[in-house]
A = this chain, B = another copy of it.
Amino acid sequence: MNDHVYKQIELTGSSTQSSDDAIRCAIGRASKTLRNLHWFQVIDTRGQIENDKIVHWQVTIKVGLRIDE
């Protein structure tokens, strides 16, 4: 991080597989419409349970993106 300005946005991704995968999901979706994704930070890790199993891992992250001049 040098003399750029960065914007942080907050996203929640979900996955049936794992907490790490829910993060990858959120970043994959964000990259479709946003450029210059630079880092993420985990804010909250949750999940939904059905029939005593975790059916969705849901991870909320902040994503930092560099604002182009």
Contacts and interface: CB of A to CB of B under 8 A. Distances in A.
A40 to B, nearest CB: 5
A66 to B, nearest CB: 10
A19 B21 CA distance: 10
Interface in A1-35: 1-16, 18-20, 23-31
A56 B38 CA distance: 11
A47 B58 contact: no
Given A38-B49, A45-B41, A2 B14 contact: yes
Nearest to A48: B39
A10 B5 CA distance: 11
Most chain B CB within 10 A, of A5, A57, A64, A67, is at A5
